[in-house]
Amino acid sequence: MKIRGNITEIDVAKMRDLVYLMPPTDVADGRGGVDRTYPTEIEVYAIVNPGGNARELQELNLTYDNIITVIIRWYDLDQTYRIKYRDVEYTLHKSSDVDAKKRFLKLLCYAKT
């Protein structure tokens, strides 16, 4: 399946990078508070491109060391998920539907190391 649009082209056969989606789990800490952990990893294939919209992150005054843009098959996730790629955990900044048909997601992620 190939999709053409404002990004050059998405080809499922080019999804060769392994990325791990990490959903959050909230655990009570025993003192009335809640700790958020990420114990589960869901393995998916993706297209990973270094870089991304650095200007958007700079305007929000976020500190980061690395930015990646990840394209995956559609998966219901929200901003609380983390992305693990090559043993580095990335914070999910923004996700957007590539073609408005819920086939592919484009994720902008950043890491602080």
**Per-residue pLDDT reduced to its tens digit, 6-19:** 555 678 888 999 99
Cα diameter, the chain: 52
Tell if the pTM clears 0.85, that is, is over it.
no
**Per-residue pLDDT reduced to its tens digit, 47-73:** 999 887 777 777 777 778 888 999 999
Q: 82 near 38, Cβ under 8 Å?
A: yes
Residue 38 CA, chain-centre distance (Å), reads 14
Tokens 């297209």 locate to 47
